[in-house]
């Protein structure tokens, strides 16, 4: 499996799309630092975990997944891999693990950017260990949140344009739902709100936000939402379960597709 992962990573690394996609992790923190002068370190990290993650990383993960899963079909090399032999399920698992590593590295690179910008701006890097932990966990959770969309892309087995459309629609839907009280202010349980990945991650992240002085409205928002915060073990249990289910279904779909 390790050789498969390294092989998939090398194939991805050779592509310009991979380098361009990874460089986008620096965009949001830099823009935020230039546009806003009263930011603190917590604000910079929230840009990495939220704007970078939900607006950039999820669609990039889906588009990169489409590139990985469609490449063998495009170049007609899948038959050669099957002759080695390499099972399609192991191949799919390797691709998904590469995407997981990509998501974690993407978030950690954003964290490094935030630390560097805070140093240049003279902003104290408060709660540095906690923030690093949150960024690392966020990378894993965002990968799990992207797996339903990756499953849909592989199941459709269409062009890259369709993959981009699906990724964009999934990202917009998730980001809109996270500001809906109908979704956010719902107790954990057997309900649709608990199964929605993006709102669940926000309900986990919000409890770690520190609110500075003078932000009364924001402080009131977090206090009202606090009964609906999701503990770390719970959010991991829910999203990783969903990710494992989607992974199993994806392997089954990918296995049945004609070569």
Query: Three-state SS across 93-157?
Result: HHHHHHHHHHHHHHHHHHHHHHHHHHHHHCCCCCCHHHHHHHHHHHHHHHHHHHHHHHHHHHHHC
76: which residues sit within 8 A by CB, 6+ positions away? none
Cα 6–9–15 angle (5° rounding)? 145
Per-domain residue ranges for the chain? 2-256
Reading the block at residue 194, the tokens are: 């608990």
pLDDT of residue 22: 81
How far does Cα 40 stand from its chain's mean position? 24
The alpha carbon torsion through 252, 7, 78, 152 (nearest 10 deg) reads 40
Per-residue tens of pLDDT for the chain, all 259 residues: 667 777 777 777 777 777 777 888 888 888 877 776 666 788 888 888 888 888 889 999 998 888 888 876 655 555 555 555 667 778 888 889 999 999 999 999 999 998 988 888 778 878 889 999 999 999 999 999 999 999 988 888 766 788 888 888 888 888 888 888 888 888 888 888 889 999 999 999 988 887 665 566 677 778 888 888 999 999 999 999 999 999 999 988 888 776 5
Alpha-carbon Rg for the chain in angstroms: 19
pLDDT of residue 30: 82
pLDDT of residue 125: 79
184: which residues sit within 8 A by CB, 6+ positions away? 178, 193, 199, 202, 203, 225, 228
């Amino acid at each position: 499996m390790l050789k498969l992962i390294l092989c998939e990573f090398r194939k991805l690394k050779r592509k310009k799309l991979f380098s361009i996609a990874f460089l986008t992790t620096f965009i949001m923190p830099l823009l935020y630092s230039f546009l806003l002068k009263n930011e603190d370190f917590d604000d910079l990290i929230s840009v990495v975990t939220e704007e970078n993650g939900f607006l950039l990383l999820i669609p990039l993960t889906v588009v990169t997944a489409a590139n990985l899963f469609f490449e063998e079909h495009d170049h007609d090399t899948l038959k050669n891999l099957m002759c080695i032999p390499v099972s399609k399920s192991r191949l799919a698992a390797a691709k998904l693990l590469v995407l997981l590593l990509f998501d974690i590295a993407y978030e950690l690179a954003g964290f490094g950017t935030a630390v560097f910008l805070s140093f240049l701006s003279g902003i104290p890097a408060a709660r540095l260990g906690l923030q690093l932990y949150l960024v690392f966990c966020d990378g894993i959770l965002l990968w799990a949140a992207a797996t339903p969309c990756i499953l849909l892309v592989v199941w459709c087995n269409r062009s890259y344009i369709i993959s981009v459309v699906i990724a964009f629609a999934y990202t917009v839907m998730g980001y809109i739902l996270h500001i809906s009280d109908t979704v956010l202010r719902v107790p954990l349980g057997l309900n649709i709100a608990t199964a929605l990945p993006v709102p669940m991650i926000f309900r986990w992240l919000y409890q770690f936000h520190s609110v500075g002085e003078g932000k009364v409205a924001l402080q009131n928002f977090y206090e009202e939402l606090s009964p609906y915060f999701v503990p770390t073990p719970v959010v991991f249990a829910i999203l990783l379960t969903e990710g494992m289910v989607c992974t199993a279904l994806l392997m089954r779909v990918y296995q049945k597709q004609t070569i």
